[in-house]
Structure 1
Amino acid sequence: MSIIQLTNVNNQSLPSGVTFSDNTLKLLKKTIFKDTLTIKLNHRELTNLNIVVEPSVEAKLILELNDTDSSDVTYDIDMKLMENSQVKFLLISEVQSNNAKLNFKSSSLADSNMEFIGGFVNNVMDAKLFLDLDGKGANLRVRTITVSSTNHSQKLDIHMTHYAPFSSAEMTNVGIAGQNGIIKINGVGQIEQGMNGSSAFQTLKGIITNDKAQIDVNPILIIDEHDVTAGHAATVGKMEDEVIFYLRSRGITLEDAQRLIINGYLQPIIDEIDDELIKENVAKIVNERI
C-alpha cells in the first residue's frame, strides 16, 4: 500500500505514475497500480481536492477524511475518470464537526468503470454526491454505509445521472441509526432523454435500533427515455423482536445481538473492500459507532 499524506506532499516522494500540484492529484495514463493508493486528508490543511484519472489507468484508491475539529467545515472533492479507466474508490469520512458539508462530484467518460464504496461515520454532516456518467459505456457501482448514534445527524444525497447512452449505474445504500441518531438518504437515478440502452437501479435500507432513532430513505427515479431499464427498492425497519429474543436466549447480550444483526446487513458492502487491513479498519469504525 502507498500512503499519500497531502498535508506534507512536498516533503515526500510520490509513487511512480502520480503527480500533485495546485490541489490536483493525477494518475498518469496507461499506468496500472498494483498497490492500493491511500490519500489522507487530515487537520484541514487541504479541504479542496481534484483527482484526475487519465485514460487506461487501473487503480485502487482510498480517501480518508479524518477530522477531529468540531467547528464548521466544507470539503469539496472532484474526480474525473477518463476513457477506459478502471477504478475502485473507497471514501471513509469520519468528521467530528457539528456542521460539516461534503460535496463530491465525479465524471465518468467512455468505457470507464468506477466502484464507489463510502463509509460515513460523521457527527453532523450534509453530504452531496453527484456522480455523472458522461461517456458511452461508462459503468458505475455504488455502495455506502452511514451510521449515526448519540446526537449525530447525517444527510446523504446521491445523484447518478446518465448523460451518455449505454451507460449503467447501480447503488446500494445502508443507513443504521442508534440512540437518538438521525439519518436521511436520498438516492436519485436520472436518465436524460436520448440516453438509450442505459440502466439505473438502486436499493436503500434503513435500520433503527430503538424508537428514538430516525431514518428516512427516499429512492427517486427520473427517466426521460423509453429504451432503458430501471428499478428501485427501499425498506426501513426496527430489528425484529423475535430475532433479538432468539439471540439473547443463547446468552448473548442485547448490545451484542444488535451488533450481530447489523453486521449481517453490512457484511455484503464491507466484503467489497478487498484490502484486508482497510476492511478491518472500516468494520472497526462502524462497530464503534454502533
Structure 2
Amino acid sequence: MTTQTILPVDTESIQNISKRNNEPSWLTELRINALKLASQLELPRLEKTRIDRWNTQAYGTYQDYDVIESLEKLPASVQDLIKDQEVEGNLIVQHNSGVVYTKLSSELAAQGVIFKDLHTAARENEELVKSYLHKAIEVDENLITSLHAALWNGGVFLYVPKNVEITIPLQAIYLTDKGQATFAPHILIIADTNSTVTYVDNYVSGELDGEVLHNGSVEIFVKAGAKVRYATVHQMSSEVTDLSYRRAIVENDGVIEWIVGEMNAGNTMSDTNSILKGNGSSSDSKVIAVGSGSQKLNYTTRAQHFGKNTPSQMITRAVLREQSTAIINGITKIEHGASKADGQQTEKVLMLSPKARGDANPILLIDEDDVTAGHAASVGQVNAEQVYYLMSRGITRTEAEALIIYGFLAPVVSQIPLKGLQTQLQSLVERKLGR
C-alpha cells in the first residue's frame, strides 16, 4: 500500500495557493517537489505509538483570510490571552490559514530586526529565507515533513541582526477555529552572531465544527555567540491532532533554550531537537505535560552533540489522569569527536489513575570516550503515604493530591524565567486536572 492515496491536495491546488500568496517561483517549485516526495514516503515510526491510527488526514483546504488593523477584531479568547501575556507591541497572530495581524515596534525595526509572516518574508527577504527554509527540518524525512513543506501557511519569520540584544519577548498566537481550514504554520528564526532574543507563542483552538490536523515545524538557527529562548504552549481542544517538529542548529558558543508546555486535549506528537554543531554550544530543554481523557501522547526531546565542550540538559515531567497514555523519550547522542561533551536528562511521569499509562525512555548514544553523560527516569502513582500525611493535617484528599502534583511539576515550572508563562502554565495545569 502506498501513501499516494492519502495526499490531501494535488499539484494544481499547490500552484493556486502559492500564486494567491504571490510567492516566488523557487518556493512554488519547492512545494510541488515536496508533494511529489510525499507520495513516496511513510508516516514516522514512533516508539510504542501507532500514529497511523490517529487522524492524520484532516488537513482541510486553504482558506482566504482578511488582515485586521485592531486586536479588538480578534475572538475574545485571543484578546484575553494577549492581555494576560502583557504583549508590548511585538506580536503576530495567525487565524486558521493565514497571518491576520503583525506588529513590530519601531525601535526594533530601526535595529534591523525582521518580524513578519513567512509568506511576506519569502518575497521581501527572499535570499535570507531561501538560504534557511527547510535546512534544519528537511523535506524528505517522512510523510509529515514533506506534506508540511508542501502545505505550510502563515507562520513567522524572525531575524535578529548581529550584536542586537532584544530584552522583551516577541510573541505569536496561532488560532484554529474552523474545521475545514488548513492549519500548518512554519516558524523560521535566525539569530545572527552575538544576538539575543526570546520568542513566545501560544497555539489555541476555538469552537470547531470538525476535526483539525496541526502539522507544524519550527526551525531555529543560532549563530556564534547568539542566545535564543523559545517558549511555546499548546492548548488545543480534543478535535485537534497536533504534530510538531522543532529543531535548532547551534554554532560555536551559541545557546538554545526550549520551554515547552504540552496542554492539548487531543492526540499529540512532538519532537524537539537541539543539534550542537559548534564548539561550546549548549542546549537546555524543559518540557511539562498533562494528559487527560483518552489522549495518546508521544514526546521526544533530543540533543545531538557534534562540537567539543557542549553541555545539554533535558527535563521532562508529565502528569497523566483518566485513560491517557504517554511515551516520553529523551535521546542524547554524542558523536565521535565531541570531546568534553556533557549530556544530562531526566524524565518523570506521575499517574493519577490506575488506567493511565506512562513510559519514560532515557537513551544515551555515545561514540566518544572523553565525555560526561547521565540520565534518570521514573514512572509511578501518587504516593499514598504523602496523601495520608497531608490529610492528617486537615487537608482534603483533592487538595492533598493537588499539592503533590504541583510539587512534582515545580522543579520545571520554577526554572522558567518568564513570570507570565509560569502563571499561564500553572493555570492550564489546574484546568487540565479539573480543579
**Pairwise TM-score range, normalised by the shorter structure:** over 0.9
- From 29, 33, 39, the equivalent of 2:162 is 29
Report the alpha carbon displacement of residue 148 of structure 1 after superposing the two structures with TM.
Answer: 0.1
> Hey, what does 1:5 align to over in structure 2?
92
Matched, 1:99 2:237: no
- CA 1:153–1:6: 2 relative to 1, 3 Å: same
Amino acid of the structure 2 residue aligned with 1:89: Y
> Hey, what does 1:265 align to over in structure 2?
408
- CA 1:132–1:281: 2 relative to 1, 3 Å: same
Aligned length: 290
TM-score by length of 2: 0.63
1:106-143 Cα shifts (integer Å, max 9, x gaps): 11111011221111112211111222111110011111
> Hey, what does 2:115 align to over in structure 1?
19
CA distance in 2, matches of 1:125, 1:39: 20
Matches within 5 A, 1:1-290: 1-2=87-88, 3-7=90-94, 11-15=101-105, 16=108, 17-20=113-116, 21-22=121-122, 23-43=156-176, 47-68=185-206, 69=208, 70-96=211-237, 97-122=239-264, 123-290=266-433
Report the alpha carbon displacement of residue 203 of structure 1 after superposing the two structures with TM.
Answer: 0.8
Paired residues of 1:6 and 1:46 also in contact (CA < 8 A): no
Report the alpha carbon displacement of residue 274 of structure 1 after superposing the two structures with TM.
Answer: 2.6
CA distance in 2, matches of 1:171, 1:159: 8
1:80-120 Cα shifts (integer Å, max 9, x gaps): 11111122221111232443211111111110112211111
Between 197-206 and 264-273, report the one with greater CA deviation.
264-273
Instruction: Look up the SS of the partner of 1:261 in the other structure.
Output: helix
Amino acid of the structure 2 residue aligned with 1:185: I
Between 49-58 and 228-237, report the one with greater CA deviation.
49-58
CA distance in 2, matches of 1:220, 1:87: 26
Paired residues of 1:78 and 1:106 also in contact (CA < 8 A): yes
CA distance in 2, matches of 1:99, 1:261: 30
Instruction: Look up the SS of the partner of 2:391 in the other structure.
Output: helix
Runs (5+) with no aligned partner, structure 1? none
Amino acid of the structure 2 residue aligned with 1:286: V
User: As a proportion of its length, which structure holds more strand?
Assistant: 1
Between 140-149 and 21-30, report the one with greater CA deviation.
21-30
Which of the two has higher C-alpha Rg?
2
Report the alpha carbon displacement of residue 147 of structure 1 after superposing the two structures with TM.
Answer: 0.8
1:25-64 Cα shifts (integer Å, max 9, x gaps): 2122211112122222223655222111121112222122
1:2-34 Cα shifts (integer Å, max 9, x gaps): 342242767543131233313522122211112
- CA 1:263–1:151: 2 relative to 1, 3 Å: same
Residue identity (%): 23
CA distance in 2, matches of 1:129, 1:189: 12
TM-score by length of 1: 0.93
1:224-276 Cα shifts (integer Å, max 9, x gaps): 00011111111111111111112223332322211110111211211222332
Between 60-69 and 24-33, report the one with greater CA deviation.
60-69
Amino acid of the structure 1 residue aligned with 2:168: D
Paired residues of 2:245 and 2:272 also in contact (CA < 8 A): yes
RMSD (CA atoms): 1.8
Between 146-155 and 216-225, report the one with greater CA deviation.
146-155
Paired residues of 1:49 and 1:77 also in contact (CA < 8 A): yes
Paired residues of 2:280 and 2:309 also in contact (CA < 8 A): yes
Between 99-108 and 89-98, report the one with greater CA deviation.
89-98
1:127-184 Cα shifts (integer Å, max 9, x gaps): 1122211111001111111110112221101121012121111111111101111111
CA distance in 1, matches of 2:102, 2:115: 12
CA distance in 1, matches of 2:213, 2:202: 18
User: As a proportion of its length, which structure holds more helix?
Assistant: 2
Amino acid of the structure 2 residue aligned with 1:227: D
Paired residues of 1:179 and 1:210 also in contact (CA < 8 A): yes
CA distance in 1, matches of 2:99, 2:270: 26
Runs (5+) with no aligned partner, structure 2? 1-86, 123-155, 177-181
Instruction: Look up the SS of the partner of 1:72 in the other structure.
Output: strand
